[in-house]
A and B are shown apart, each in its own frame.
Chain A
Amino acid sequence: GQQLNQSPQSMFIQEGEDVSMNCTSSSIFNTWLWYKQDPGEGPVLLIALYKAGELTSNGRLTAQFGITRKDSFLNISASIPSDVGIYFCAGQSRGSTLGRLYFGRGTQLTVWP
């Protein structure tokens, strides 16, 4: 199946720094979703994007749906220790009537106090 290219694979940053991660796909998507997963728990939806060029914020998080419809990025501003976790991008292709998602491999974020 399709695999999204998510980078970076891991990040080690200091509290207060900004973070940026992105996902690219070889095919066009009509929906991009960003999730955060804490150890031993299910992913939690952070931001959903539905239109090319759309820029959406959720508190300190900002995500954008790329103009080409093949990429998306997530920014976290002024990181705090509770931002630690694995962030996954997920995309839904145009032809998917049931809403099947394709996932990136995840970005492991570590925040040092």
Chain B
Amino acid sequence: GAVVSQHPSRVICKSGTSVKIECRSLDFQATTMFWYRQFPKKSLMLMATSNEGSKATYEQGVEKDKFLINHASLTLSTLTVTSAHPEDSSFYICSARRTTYNEQFFGPGTRLTVL
């Protein structure tokens, strides 16, 4: 149990376009999901906390208008990178919190490349 999926796993887009990444908890409900960004050989950097039915909480320095987060149901959160630029290229990972055991399970990540 406790599986989190992410889609797509890889995406290449042109500069100026928007990209949507989906994060789903497949076998448990998650009132809280998290979005991270990871640079090569670095730790995970929290971008925002996503709560079902309410606005996301963004970390300092993360542009909320650029990284739109929607947590529409207890099993789905989406991250939309708007007007993507090459500097947005990165590995984006989501996690879902299983409240019962206070654990977080991560998705497999999405590799975004902006040309």
Contact = CB atoms under 8 A, between A and B. Distances in A.
Interface of A: 1, 31, 33, 35, 40-45, 48, 50, 88, 90, 92, 98-101, 103-106, 108
Contacts of A88: 43-44
A50 B102 CA distance: 9
A30 to B, nearest CB: 8
Given A35-B106, A41-B108, A42-B106, A1 B46 contact: yes
Contacts of B95: 42, 101
B112 to A, nearest CB: 13
Nearest to B106: A42
A13 to B, nearest CB: 19
A-B complex: 4 closest residue pairs judged by Cβ atoms? A42-B106, A99-B97, A42-B109, A42-B108
12 contacts: A1-B46, A31-B102, A33-B104, A41-B109, A42-B107, A45-B104, A45-B105, A48-B103, A99-B97, A103-B43, A104-B43, A108-B41
Contacts of B106: 35, 42-45
Contacts, number: 60
Contacts of A106: 43
Among A90, A99, A101, A105, max chain B CB count under 10 A is at: A99
Nearest to A86: B41
Contacts of A90: 104
Contacts of B101: 48
A35 to B, nearest CB: 7
A90 to B, nearest CB: 8
A94 B5 CA distance: 28
